[in-house]
């Protein structure tokens, strides 16, 4: 019932050392959410985010940022990294993911999406046929609608983790 919402993997952080394994498995593009995935909501790109993108590029990854936020927020975040991006992406619609793959020149089989929300990031990327990684939110402060969605996410995650234990 919830399978379109399930991530393929869960990480504690978008800064986890798992990217080497992904690269070895043939992935070449990463689509990142921004707010609460890499930085707290509304915060500019910090040294940690900039260093991660630099490291990923040196490894051979292409990176695109996909956000439901407005152009000023997304463009200012991406500017220090000279990164490509899509704003007002309309997640969980899959068209933003397809546009992101076109921007970075990857296929579905070569692309990973990393985000902190099930009902936007995971659902949208799964609908687009992209490998999904769910990370824990960076910050505690969130807008009311996201706080409410987090309660529903707990239900989805309960069934996801239960299905993983059963090996499904």
116-163 residue pLDDT tens: 999 999 999 999 999 999 999 997 776 667 767 777 888 878 888 888
> In this structure, which topology does domain 3-165 adopt according to CATH?
Rossmann fold (3.40.50)
Q: What is the pLDDT of residue 37?
A: 96
Q: What is the pLDDT of residue 156?
A: 78
Q: What is the pLDDT of residue 1?
A: 58
User: Taking CA 15 as the corner, what is the angle to CA 166 and CA 82, rounded to the nearest 5 degrees?
Assistant: 130
Question: Which structure tokens are listed for 46?
Answer: 């910090």
What would the mean pLDDT of 69-88 be, rounded to a whole number? 97
Q: What is the pLDDT of residue 2?
A: 77
Closest Cα partner for 41 from 143, 145, 110, 154? 143
Helix (H) or strand (E) holding 150: helix 144-165
* Mean pLDDT, all residues of the chain: 92
Q: Is 16 left (phi over 0), alpha (psi -120 to 50) or beta?
A: beta
Q: What is the pLDDT of residue 65?
A: 98
Q: Which pTM value belongs to this model?
A: 0.90
For residue 43, what is the DSSP state?
A: P
Give 26's contacts (C-beta < 8 A, 6+ positions apart): 109, 110
What would the mean pLDDT of 60-87 be, rounded to a whole number? 97
Distance CA 53, CA 86 (A): 16
Q: Where are the domains of the chain?
A: 3-165
- Selected residue with higher pLDDT from 157 and 29: 29
Q: What is the pLDDT of residue 89?
A: 97
């Amino acid at each position: 019932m919830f399978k379109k919402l399930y991530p393929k993997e869960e990480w504690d952080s978008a800064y986890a050392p798992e990217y080497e394994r992904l690269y070895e498995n043939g992935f070449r593009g990463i689509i990142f959410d921004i707010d609460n995935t890499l930085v707290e909501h509304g915060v500019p790109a910090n040294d940690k985010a900039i260093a991660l993108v630099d490291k990923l590029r040196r490894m051979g990854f292409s990176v695109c940022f996909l956000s439901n936020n407005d152009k000023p927020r997304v463009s200012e975040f991406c500017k220090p990294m000279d990164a490509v991006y899509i704003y007002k992406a309309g997640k969980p619609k899959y068209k933003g993911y397809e546009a992101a793959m076109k921007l970075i020149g990857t296929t579905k089989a070569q692309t990973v999406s990393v985000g902190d929300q099930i009902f936007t990031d995971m659902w949208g990327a799964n609908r687009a046929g992209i490998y999904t990684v769910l990370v824990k939110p960076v910050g505690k402060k969130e807008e009311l609608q996201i706080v409410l969605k987090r309660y529903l996410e707990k239900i989805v995650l309960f069934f996801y983790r239960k299905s993983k234990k059963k090996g499904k």
